[in-house]
Structure 1
Amino acid sequence: MFYDGQCPLCQAEIQFLSGRNQAGLLSFVDINSDQYSPERVGVSCDQALASMCAQYEGGELIQGVEVFSAAYSRANLPKLAWVFSRPALQPVWNVGYRFFAKHRHAISALLGPLALRLVNKKVS
Protein backbone atom coordinates (compact mmCIF):
# COMPACT_ATOMS: atom_id res chain seq x y z
CA MET A 1 0.00 0.00 0.00
CA PHE A 2 1.16 3.49 -0.78
CA TYR A 3 0.36 6.19 1.75
CA ASP A 4 1.07 9.81 2.68
CA GLY A 5 3.48 9.66 5.61
CA GLN A 6 2.94 13.37 6.25
CA CYS A 7 -0.73 12.77 7.07
CA PRO A 8 -1.40 11.76 10.72
CA LEU A 9 -4.68 10.00 9.82
CA CYS A 10 -2.89 8.06 7.10
CA GLN A 11 -0.15 7.16 9.60
CA ALA A 12 -2.80 5.98 12.07
CA GLU A 13 -4.41 3.75 9.43
CA ILE A 14 -1.05 2.24 8.49
CA GLN A 15 -0.17 1.64 12.15
CA PHE A 16 -3.57 0.03 12.68
CA LEU A 17 -3.11 -2.25 9.67
CA SER A 18 0.49 -3.01 10.64
CA GLY A 19 -0.72 -4.22 14.01
CA ARG A 20 -3.14 -6.59 12.26
CA ASN A 21 -0.61 -7.81 9.68
CA GLN A 22 0.39 -11.01 11.49
CA ALA A 23 0.36 -13.01 8.25
CA GLY A 24 2.71 -10.49 6.60
CA LEU A 25 0.40 -10.01 3.62
CA LEU A 26 0.69 -6.23 3.61
CA SER A 27 3.60 -3.88 3.04
CA PHE A 28 3.56 -0.11 3.21
CA VAL A 29 5.47 2.54 1.30
CA ASP A 30 5.37 6.24 2.11
CA ILE A 31 5.06 8.05 -1.21
CA ASN A 32 7.20 10.86 0.23
CA SER A 33 10.12 8.49 0.82
CA ASP A 34 12.95 7.30 -1.40
CA GLN A 35 11.31 3.84 -1.40
CA TYR A 36 8.51 5.15 -3.65
CA SER A 37 9.33 5.10 -7.35
CA PRO A 38 6.63 6.65 -9.56
CA GLU A 39 8.38 5.22 -12.61
CA ARG A 40 8.36 1.67 -11.26
CA VAL A 41 4.78 1.87 -9.97
CA GLY A 42 3.40 3.83 -12.93
CA VAL A 43 1.63 6.36 -10.69
CA SER A 44 2.92 9.84 -9.92
CA CYS A 45 2.97 11.10 -6.33
CA ASP A 46 0.12 13.50 -7.17
CA GLN A 47 -1.97 10.65 -8.59
CA ALA A 48 -1.23 8.49 -5.55
CA LEU A 49 -2.31 11.33 -3.25
CA ALA A 50 -5.57 11.79 -5.16
CA SER A 51 -6.60 8.13 -5.15
CA MET A 52 -5.59 5.45 -2.69
CA CYS A 53 -3.21 3.11 -4.52
CA ALA A 54 -1.68 -0.27 -3.87
CA GLN A 55 0.21 -2.81 -5.89
CA TYR A 56 0.11 -6.58 -5.63
CA GLU A 57 3.39 -8.46 -5.53
CA GLY A 58 2.97 -9.40 -9.19
CA GLY A 59 2.76 -5.74 -10.19
CA GLU A 60 -1.01 -5.33 -10.63
CA LEU A 61 -2.04 -1.83 -9.52
CA ILE A 62 -5.32 -1.26 -7.70
CA GLN A 63 -6.86 2.07 -6.78
CA GLY A 64 -9.69 3.57 -4.80
CA VAL A 65 -12.00 1.61 -2.56
CA GLU A 66 -10.65 -1.70 -3.84
CA VAL A 67 -7.46 -0.97 -1.88
CA PHE A 68 -9.33 -0.74 1.42
CA SER A 69 -11.26 -3.93 0.77
CA ALA A 70 -8.08 -5.83 -0.14
CA ALA A 71 -6.11 -4.40 2.79
CA TYR A 72 -8.79 -5.15 5.37
CA SER A 73 -9.17 -8.66 4.00
CA ARG A 74 -5.41 -9.27 4.26
CA ALA A 75 -5.37 -7.77 7.77
CA ASN A 76 -8.01 -10.30 8.87
CA LEU A 77 -10.76 -7.68 9.19
CA PRO A 78 -13.49 -9.47 7.21
CA LYS A 79 -16.36 -7.18 8.27
CA LEU A 80 -14.54 -4.05 7.13
CA ALA A 81 -13.47 -5.80 3.93
CA TRP A 82 -17.09 -6.76 3.27
CA VAL A 83 -18.37 -3.20 3.85
CA PHE A 84 -15.79 -1.74 1.45
CA SER A 85 -16.43 -4.41 -1.19
CA ARG A 86 -20.19 -3.77 -1.55
CA PRO A 87 -20.82 -2.51 -5.10
CA ALA A 88 -23.75 -0.35 -3.97
CA LEU A 89 -21.54 1.49 -1.45
CA GLN A 90 -18.43 1.90 -3.59
CA PRO A 91 -19.57 5.18 -5.21
CA VAL A 92 -20.11 6.65 -1.75
CA TRP A 93 -16.71 5.45 -0.53
CA ASN A 94 -15.01 6.77 -3.68
CA VAL A 95 -16.57 10.23 -3.35
CA GLY A 96 -15.74 10.26 0.35
CA TYR A 97 -12.13 9.30 -0.27
CA ARG A 98 -11.70 11.92 -3.02
CA PHE A 99 -13.02 14.55 -0.58
CA PHE A 100 -10.69 13.28 2.13
CA ALA A 101 -7.70 13.18 -0.25
CA LYS A 102 -8.30 16.76 -1.35
CA HIS A 103 -8.60 17.99 2.24
CA ARG A 104 -6.41 15.36 3.91
CA HIS A 105 -4.11 17.75 5.77
CA ALA A 106 -6.88 19.95 7.20
CA ILE A 107 -8.95 16.92 8.26
CA SER A 108 -5.87 15.19 9.59
CA ALA A 109 -4.87 18.25 11.63
CA LEU A 110 -8.21 17.97 13.43
CA LEU A 111 -8.55 14.19 13.78
CA GLY A 112 -5.08 12.77 13.20
CA PRO A 113 -3.55 13.31 16.66
CA LEU A 114 -6.52 11.60 18.34
CA ALA A 115 -6.43 8.71 15.85
CA LEU A 116 -2.69 8.25 16.40
CA ARG A 117 -3.15 8.26 20.20
CA LEU A 118 -5.91 5.66 19.93
CA VAL A 119 -3.87 3.40 17.65
CA ASN A 120 -0.74 3.76 19.78
CA LYS A 121 -2.72 3.01 22.94
CA LYS A 122 -3.96 -0.27 21.41
CA VAL A 123 -0.43 -1.17 20.31
CA SER A 124 1.08 -0.52 23.77
Structure 2
Amino acid sequence: MHMTLYYDGHCPLCLAEIRFLAERNEAGLLSFVDVCADDFSSAEVGVSSCQILLDNMHAKLADGTVLVGADVFAAAYERAQLPRLAWLFSRPWLMPLWRLVYRVFATHRERISRLIGPGLLAWVTRRYSC
Protein backbone atom coordinates (compact mmCIF):
# COMPACT_ATOMS: atom_id res chain seq x y z
CA MET A 1 0.00 0.00 0.00
CA HIS A 2 1.30 3.45 -0.93
CA MET A 3 2.45 5.85 1.81
CA THR A 4 3.13 9.59 1.80
CA LEU A 5 5.76 10.91 4.20
CA TYR A 6 5.51 14.50 5.43
CA TYR A 7 8.87 16.05 6.28
CA ASP A 8 10.60 19.31 7.19
CA GLY A 9 12.42 20.49 4.08
CA HIS A 10 14.50 22.91 6.16
CA CYS A 11 15.95 20.15 8.36
CA PRO A 12 19.21 18.64 7.01
CA LEU A 13 18.74 15.44 9.02
CA CYS A 14 15.19 15.05 7.72
CA LEU A 15 16.36 15.67 4.16
CA ALA A 16 19.08 13.03 4.55
CA GLU A 17 16.50 10.44 5.64
CA ILE A 18 14.13 11.39 2.82
CA ARG A 19 16.89 11.21 0.19
CA PHE A 20 17.98 7.84 1.55
CA LEU A 21 14.41 6.50 1.37
CA ALA A 22 13.81 8.05 -2.05
CA GLU A 23 16.83 6.21 -3.45
CA ARG A 24 15.45 2.94 -2.10
CA ASN A 25 11.92 3.62 -3.39
CA GLU A 26 12.23 1.30 -6.38
CA ALA A 27 8.70 -0.04 -5.98
CA GLY A 28 7.26 3.50 -5.95
CA LEU A 29 5.40 2.90 -2.69
CA LEU A 30 6.58 6.14 -1.09
CA SER A 31 5.83 9.78 -1.82
CA PHE A 32 7.41 12.71 -0.05
CA VAL A 33 5.83 16.06 0.81
CA ASP A 34 7.73 19.00 2.27
CA VAL A 35 5.48 20.61 4.89
CA CYS A 36 7.50 23.83 4.58
CA ALA A 37 6.63 24.27 0.91
CA ASP A 38 4.60 27.39 0.13
CA ASP A 39 1.74 25.44 -1.43
CA PHE A 40 1.39 22.85 1.37
CA SER A 41 -1.75 22.72 3.51
CA SER A 42 -1.83 20.78 6.78
CA ALA A 43 -5.46 19.92 6.02
CA GLU A 44 -4.06 17.40 3.51
CA VAL A 45 -3.02 15.29 6.49
CA GLY A 46 -6.01 16.16 8.63
CA VAL A 47 -4.17 18.24 11.22
CA SER A 48 -4.80 21.84 12.19
CA SER A 49 -1.31 23.26 11.65
CA CYS A 50 2.05 22.63 10.04
CA GLN A 51 3.62 22.92 13.49
CA ILE A 52 1.98 19.62 14.46
CA LEU A 53 3.68 18.02 11.46
CA LEU A 54 7.01 19.61 12.37
CA ASP A 55 6.75 18.36 15.96
CA ASN A 56 6.36 14.71 14.91
CA MET A 57 6.95 12.74 11.72
CA HIS A 58 3.66 11.95 9.97
CA ALA A 59 2.77 9.59 7.16
CA LYS A 60 -0.50 8.86 5.43
CA LEU A 61 -1.36 5.49 3.93
CA ALA A 62 -3.41 5.13 0.76
CA ASP A 63 -6.42 4.07 2.83
CA GLY A 64 -6.28 7.35 4.81
CA THR A 65 -4.65 5.94 7.94
CA VAL A 66 -2.23 8.43 9.49
CA LEU A 67 0.90 7.18 11.25
CA VAL A 68 2.76 9.41 13.70
CA GLY A 69 6.23 9.38 15.24
CA ALA A 70 8.12 6.13 15.64
CA ASP A 71 5.32 4.15 13.96
CA VAL A 72 6.22 5.78 10.63
CA PHE A 73 9.66 4.22 10.36
CA ALA A 74 8.86 0.50 10.12
CA ALA A 75 6.26 1.21 7.45
CA ALA A 76 8.65 3.46 5.50
CA TYR A 77 11.55 1.00 5.70
CA GLU A 78 9.33 -1.85 4.55
CA ARG A 79 8.24 0.13 1.49
CA ALA A 80 11.83 1.17 0.79
CA GLN A 81 12.86 -2.49 0.68
CA LEU A 82 14.94 -2.31 3.85
CA PRO A 83 13.71 -5.51 5.52
CA ARG A 84 16.17 -5.57 8.43
CA LEU A 85 15.35 -2.02 9.48
CA ALA A 86 11.63 -2.68 8.96
CA TRP A 87 11.86 -5.78 11.14
CA LEU A 88 13.81 -3.95 13.85
CA PHE A 89 11.39 -1.01 13.96
CA SER A 90 8.29 -3.23 13.90
CA ARG A 91 9.02 -5.43 16.93
CA PRO A 92 6.19 -4.87 19.44
CA TRP A 93 8.53 -5.43 22.39
CA LEU A 94 10.83 -2.65 21.09
CA MET A 95 8.10 -0.11 20.31
CA PRO A 96 8.13 1.44 23.81
CA LEU A 97 11.86 2.06 23.37
CA TRP A 98 11.47 3.46 19.83
CA ARG A 99 8.66 5.74 20.96
CA LEU A 100 10.73 7.03 23.88
CA VAL A 101 13.82 7.55 21.71
CA TYR A 102 11.74 9.27 19.03
CA ARG A 103 10.05 11.54 21.60
CA VAL A 104 13.48 12.63 22.89
CA PHE A 105 14.74 13.05 19.33
CA ALA A 106 11.68 15.07 18.24
CA THR A 107 12.04 17.36 21.25
CA HIS A 108 15.66 18.11 20.32
CA ARG A 109 15.44 17.59 16.54
CA GLU A 110 16.59 21.06 15.55
CA ARG A 111 19.68 20.93 17.77
CA ILE A 112 20.53 17.36 16.71
CA SER A 113 20.02 18.28 13.07
CA ARG A 114 22.34 21.28 13.35
CA LEU A 115 25.04 19.02 14.82
CA ILE A 116 24.90 15.98 12.55
CA GLY A 117 22.40 16.83 9.81
CA PRO A 118 24.70 18.70 7.39
CA GLY A 119 27.37 15.98 7.47
CA LEU A 120 24.84 13.18 7.08
CA LEU A 121 23.05 15.02 4.28
CA ALA A 122 26.37 15.58 2.47
CA TRP A 123 27.22 11.87 2.83
CA VAL A 124 23.83 10.69 1.53
CA THR A 125 24.02 13.17 -1.36
CA ARG A 126 27.51 11.94 -2.34
CA ARG A 127 26.53 8.30 -1.88
CA TYR A 128 23.46 8.50 -4.09
CA SER A 129 24.44 11.20 -6.59
CA CYS A 130 25.93 8.73 -9.10
TM-score w.r.t. the length of structure 1 is 0.92
Aligned with residue 76 of structure 2, among 56, 71, 74: 71
Instruction: Output one character per residue of 1:62-103: Cα deviation in whole Å (capped at 9) or x when no partner.
Output: 112221000000000000001100111111111111221121
The gaps in structure 1 that reach 5 residues or longer are none
1:32-51 map, 5 Å: 32-43=36-47, 44-51=49-56
**Alignment-derived partner of residue 103 in structure 2:** 98
| 4+ aligned runs moved over 3 Å, structure 1 | none
Report the 3-state secondary structure (helix = DSSP H, G, I; strand = E; otherwise coil) of the residue aligned with 1:29: strand
State the aligned residue count.
124
**Alignment check: 8 A CA contact 1:84 1:93 kept:** yes
TM-score w.r.t. the length of structure 2 is 0.89
1:85-124 map, 5 Å: 85-124=90-129
Kindly report the root-mean-square deviation, in angstroms, between the aligned alpha carbons of the 2 structures.
1.3
Report the 3-state secondary structure (helix = DSSP H, G, I; strand = E; otherwise coil) of the residue aligned with 1:62: strand
Percent identical: 54
Report the 3-state secondary structure (helix = DSSP H, G, I; strand = E; otherwise coil) of the residue aligned with 1:54: strand
- Displacement of 1:40 in angstroms is 2.7
The gaps in structure 2 that reach 5 residues or longer are none
